[in-house]
Amino acid sequence: MANASWVFTPTVPHFNKPMISPLISTFRSRVYPHDRILKRVLCSSAVHGADKVSVSELKASRVVGKGCKLVGCGSAVPKLEVSNDDLSKIVDTSDEWISVRTGIRNRRVITGKDKMTGLAVEAAQKALEMAEVDADDVDLLLLCTSTPDDLFGSAPQIQAALGCKGNPLAFDITAACSGFVLGLVSASCYIRGGGFKNVLVIGADALSRYVDWTDRGTCILFGDAAGAVLVQACESEDDGVFGFDLHSDGEGYRHLHTGIKANEEFGTNGSVVDFPPKRSSYSSIQMNGKEVFRFACRVVPQSIEIALENAGLTRSSIDWLLLHQANQRILDAVATRLEIPADRVISNLANYGNTSAASIPLALDEAVRSGKVKPGQTIATSGFGAGLTWGSAIIRWN
């Protein structure tokens, strides 16, 4: 299966050292003016009228970084905790049923005037603090979410709330529970291929707003949260995103979705051609749990194996397995298949449930701050979910 995957190893020599050869000088003098050549691979921030900048100034500018590393993380959850017992009062379920089948005991839910963006800002601030990077130095903010507070996306408001002064680009990526891994891989592409330097990747979701609270098959599963990671450009030898593997299969859409429904109350004029258009909103989450479970157990181990191959690493290199925190049974099944011992599997879904795009950075943050995940350790991470979409990456925690 052809797939998009990236080959990068930490042992790849540093590309950017000039190669000294008489042939180069010949080329330089024969073919191109020196300053144009240097411009070719330099990217800049806050460069005005670049063609007026001297060669020495260009040399001092950032060269497109060939590496990227994870340098900070943070997370935030709502205050209100809803236990399995609480849920058993409104739907026909029990703590025993939920915890045995899913591993979930509690989840957090946004209430009142709280917003998902508030959580995202808190998570991002903590990540910046850990990374010792100023908000003003962030040059790209990716908000991975399916549940923004605004139709047009919530990344810009987070950027404003963080106080990023340079008007750095900020936009949303929508990819459900795979969102964070896709965001992480995208961040590496923006750094390697676009010259960005400090990319905040935030995974945040408030699925409680799209859950049918009368449906015991789904309302027990989800919680709200936000997590963030700062990905920073670096030299190749410090590179911390070693390989990835990403996929979608739209045929699986029917197993997990929440499609548009037209609201009858905002009616039309009743004419044959429905104009003006009916007001739209999204329905509640519909899920075929069995199919999604099967899908995850099948594709995730494969995807991690491919990402490992692309990274030039083997299973034995993995210090931690960090999967999207959907369900403990999925975590166990994948770990068993990959022969990764249970004590190397990061899991916090018992406390938070499935927080969609937030789940991976939330779990990572707890594992880092508790001292579990140490600098230099290698993590195999995988997101999977609605789309159906899935993706894995082999990363190093810096």
Partner 1 sequence: MAYASVILTPTFKLSSSTGINPSGLCSPKFATERVRCSGTSPKSAAPRLVSKGCKLVGCGSAVPKQKFSNDDLAKIVDTNDEWISSRTGILNRHILTGTENLTSLAVEAAQKALEMAEVNADDVDLILFCSSTPDELFGGAPEVQKTLGCKRNPPAFDIRAACSGFLLGLVSASCHIRGGGFKNVLVIGADCVTRYLDWTDKKTCVLFGDAAGAVLLQACDSEEDGLYGFDLHTDGFGNKHLNAGMKHIETNLASGCDGDSLGFSPTHASFSYIQMNGQEVFRFVVKVVPESIKASLAKASFRLSDIDWLLVHQANQRIIDHLATKLEFPMDRVISNVKNYGNTSAASIPLALDEAVRSGKVKEGQTIVTAGFGAGLSWGSAVVRWG
Site for partner 1 in 264-323 (CB under 8 A): 269, 273-282, 284, 306, 309-313
> Which of 93, 391, 393, 396 touches partner 1 by CB under 8 A?
391
Q: CB 316 → partner 1: shortest distance, Å?
A: 13
Name the active-site residue from 68, 164, 177, 219: 177
Q: CB 263 → partner 1: shortest distance, Å?
A: 8
Q: Which is nearer to partner 1, 2 or 341 (CB)?
A: 2
> Which of 75, 102, 147, 359 touches partner 1 by CB under 8 A?
147
Identify the DSSP state of 138: -
Judge whether 231 and 188 are in contact, CB under 8 Å: yes
Identify the DSSP state of 313: -
Q: CB 370 → partner 1: shortest distance, Å?
A: 27
| Residue that is written with structure tokens 């995103």 in the block | 241
Judge whether 253 and 388 are in contact, CB under 8 Å: yes
Q: CB 229 → partner 1: shortest distance, Å?
A: 18
User: Which amino acid type is present at position 204?
Assistant: A
Q: CB 252 → partner 1: shortest distance, Å?
A: 8
Closest among 238, 228, 233 to 72, alpha carbons compared: 228
Q: CB 363 → partner 1: shortest distance, Å?
A: 21
Name the active-site residue from 73, 198, 234, 324: 324
Strands laid side by side in the 67-76 sheet = 67-76, 224-234, 198-206, 140-144
Q: Which is nearer to partner 1, 86 or 332 (CB)?
A: 86
**Number of residues engaging partner 1 in binding (CB under 8 A):** 144
* Residue 324 bears catalytic tag: yes
Which residues does 60 contact at the CB level (< 8 Å), separation at least 6? none
DSSP codes, 330-363: HHHHHHHHHT--GGGB---HHHH-B-GGGHHHHH
Judge whether 150 and 157 are in contact, CB under 8 Å: yes
**What stretch of H or E contains 383?**
strand 378-385
The whole-angstrom distance between residue 168's C-alpha and the CA centroid of its chain comes to 19
Closest among 350, 302, 346 to 324, alpha carbons compared: 346
Position 200 contacts partner 1 (CB under 8 A): no
Stretch that binds partner 1, among 35-43, 328-336, 347-355, 371-379 (CB under 8 A): 35-43
* Residue 398 bears catalytic tag: no
Collapsing DSSP to helix, strand or coil, 289 comes out as: helix
> Which of 69, 197, 255, 324 touches partner 1 by CB under 8 A?
197
> Which of 54, 56, 132, 260 touches partner 1 by CB under 8 A?
260
> Which of 72, 118, 148, 227 touches partner 1 by CB under 8 A?
148
Letters for 167-186 (x = contact with partner 1 by CB under 8 A, - = none) are xxxxxxxxxx-xx--x--xx
Positive or negative: CA dihedral 258, 91, 103, 209: positive
> Which of 184, 226, 385, 392 touches partner 1 by CB under 8 A?
385
Interface of this chain with partner 1, residues 72 to 131, rule: CB under 8 A: 80, 82, 86-87, 89-91, 109, 111-112
Judge whether 299 and 306 are in contact, CB under 8 Å: no
Q: CB 369 → partner 1: shortest distance, Å?
A: 27
* Residue 219 bears catalytic tag: no
Q: Which is nearer to partner 1, 51 or 343 (CB)?
A: 51
Letters for 228-247 (x = contact with partner 1 by CB under 8 A, - = none) are ------------------xx
Could you give the CA distance from residue 138 to residue 108 in angstroms, rounded to a whole number? 29
Lookup: tokens for 369: 């701050």
Q: Which is nearer to partner 1, 277 or 371 (CB)?
A: 277
Collapsing DSSP to helix, strand or coil, 277 comes out as: coil
The two beta strands, 320-323 and 378-385, are parallel
Identify the DSSP state of 104: -
> Which of 59, 100, 129, 194 touches partner 1 by CB under 8 A?
194
Which residues are catalytically annotated? 177, 324, 354
